[in-house]
Chains A and B, each alone.
Chain A
Amino acid sequence: MSSGQPPIQGIPKPQVKALNCPKCGAAITLRALGQAISVVCPSCHSILDAKDPNLRILQEFNKITSIDPPLIPLGTRGKIRGTDYEAIGFERRNIKIEGVRYHWHEYVLFNPYKGFRYLTEYQGHWNDVAICKELPIIDSRFSIPLEANYFGELYKHFQTGDANTDFVLGEFPWEVRVGEQARVTDYIHPPRVLSSERMSNEITWSIGEYIYGKDIWSTFHLPGSPPQGVGIYENEPSPFNTNITSVWKAFGFFAIGLLALMIGFDAGSKKEPVFHSSYQLNRGEPKGEGSFVTNTFLLGGRTSSVEVATSAGVQNDWIYVNYALINQDTGQAWDFGREVSFYSGYDSDGSWSEGKQDDTVVVPSVPPGKYYLRIEPEADASHSTIVYTVDVKRDVPVTAFYGIGFLALLIPAILVTWRSVSFERSRWSESDHPPSPIFNTENS
Chain B
Amino acid sequence: MTQRVGSCPNCGAKIIFKWSSSVQTVCEYCKSVLVRTDVDLKKIGQVADLLPDTSPIQLNTEGSYRNKSFVVIGRILYQYQQGGWNEWHFMMNDGTSGWLSDAQEEFAVSFLAGDQKLPSLSQLQIGQTYSWNRDSYILSVITEAHFCGLEGELPFQYWDKNEVCFADLRSSSRKFGTLDYSDTNPALYLGELIEFEDLKLRNLRQFEGWS
**Chain B binding surface SS class:** loop
Of B10-18, B35-43, B180-188, which binds chain A? Answer: B10-18
| CB-based contact A133/B106 at 8 Å | yes
Question: What 0/1 pattern do residues 1 to 39 of B give for CB contact below 8 A with A?
Answer: 000000100011110000000000000110000000000
> From residue A255, how far is it (CB to closest CB) to chain B in Å?
42
**Which of B82, B126, B193, B210 is A111 in contact with, Cβ under 8 Å?**
B210
Contact (Cβ within 8 A) B52 A12: yes
CB atoms of A115 and B105 under 8 A apart: yes
A286 to B104, CA, bound (A): 101
In the complex, which range does the number of interface residues on chain B fall in?
A: 35 or more
Shortest distance between the CB of A28 and any CB in chain B (Å)? 17
Q: Which of A8, A112, A134, A202 contacts B49 (CB 8 A)?
A: A8
From B53, B81, B105, B106, name the one whose CB has the most chain A CB atoms within 10 angstroms.
Answer: B105
Q: Are B208 and A37 in contact (CB under 8 A)?
A: no
Q: Is B65 an interface residue (CB 8 A)?
A: no
CB pair A136–B14 under 8 Å, yes or no, is no
B52: chain A residues at CB < 8 Å are 11-12, 14, 34
Query: Is there an interface contact between A134 and B207, defined as CB atoms closer than 8 Å?
Result: no
| B138 in contact with A135 (CB, 8 Å) | yes
B113 in contact (CB, < 8 A):
no
Q: Is B206 an interface residue (CB 8 A)?
A: yes
Q: Which of A15-42 contact B (CB under 8 A)?
A: 15-16, 32-35, 37
B172 surroundings in chain A (CB, below 8 A) = 134-137
Q: Given the known A-B contacts A2-B14, A135-B170, are A113 and B204 also in contact in the complex, defined by CB atoms under 8 Å?
A: yes
Query: Residue of A at shortest CB range from B197?
Result: A114
B202 at the interface (CB under 8 A from A): no
Does B83 interact with chain A (Cβ within 8 Å)? yes
Q: Say whether B171 contacts A134, CB under 8 Å.
A: yes
B 117-152 binary contact with A (CB < 8 Å = 1; else 0): 000000000110000000000101100000000000
Given A33-B54, A135-B138, A137-B172, residue A14 in contact with residue B14 (CB < 8 A): no
**Known interface pairs A113-B196, A115-B104, A135-B138. Does A84 touch B49 (Cβ–Cβ under 8 Å)?**
no
B89-115 interface code vs A (CB 8 A; 1 in, 0 out): 000000000000000111000000000
Chain B residue at minimal CB-CB distance from A84: B210
Q: How far is the CA of A116 from the CA of B56 in the complex (A)?
A: 13
Cross-interface CB contact of A114 among B28, B53, B105, B141, cutoff 8 Å: B105
Task: With CB as the reference atom, state the residue of chain A lying closest to B14.
Answer: A1
Hey, what's the 0/1 contact readout for A401-412 against B, CB within 8 Å counting as 1?
Answer: 000000000000
Q: Could you tell me how many residues of chain A have their Cβ less than 8 Å away from some Cβ of chain B?
A: 38
How far does the alpha carbon of A31 sit from the alpha carbon of B81 in the complex, in Å?
20
Question: From DSSP, what is the main secondary structure of chain A's interface residues?
Answer: loop
Say if the beta carbon of B205 comes within 8 Å of chain A.
yes
- Determine whether the beta carbon of A8 is less than 8 Å from that of B105: no
User: What CA separation (Å) do A233 and B52 show in the bound complex?
Assistant: 43
Complex: A395 Cα to B174 Cα, angstroms: 68
Write the chain A residue with the least CB distance to B54: A34
Interface presence of B69 (CB below 8 A): no
Whether B116 is near chain A, meaning CB under 8 Å from some CB there, is no
Are A173 and B104 in contact, CB atoms less than 8 angstroms apart? yes
Is A348 an interface residue when CB atoms closer than 8 A count as contact?
Answer: no
Contact of B207 among A33, A173, A174 (CB under 8 A): A33
Nearest chain A residue, comparing its CB with the CB of B7: A1
Contacting pair B28 A15 (CB below 8 A): no
Q: Does A7 contact B (CB under 8 A)?
A: yes
Nearest chain A CB to B100 CB, angstrom units = 14
Flag whether A62 is at the interface (Cβ < 8 A): no
**Contact B54 A114, beta carbon cutoff 8 Å:** no
Given contact pairs A2-B12, A116-B105, A134-B173, enumerate 19 new A-B contacts (beta carbons under 8 Å): A2-B11, A2-B14, A7-B29, A10-B205, A14-B207, A14-B208, A16-B208, A34-B52, A34-B54, A35-B54, A37-B82, A112-B56, A113-B196, A113-B204, A134-B170, A134-B171, A134-B172, A136-B172, A175-B82
A interface residues with partner B (beta carbon < 8 Å): 1-2, 6-8, 10-16, 32-35, 37, 51, 84, 111-116, 131, 133-137, 140, 173-175, 201-203
Q: What 8 pairs across the A-B complex have the smallest Cβ distances?
A: A115-B105, A15-B208, A34-B54, A112-B207, A133-B193, A113-B56, A6-B28, A137-B172
**Sampled A-B contacts (28; CB under 8 Å):** A1-B13, A2-B13, A2-B29, A8-B28, A11-B52, A11-B53, A13-B206, A13-B207, A14-B52, A14-B54, A15-B207, A16-B208, A16-B209, A34-B53, A35-B54, A35-B105, A51-B83, A112-B56, A112-B207, A113-B56, A114-B105, A133-B174, A134-B174, A134-B193, A135-B140, A201-B126, A202-B141, A203-B140
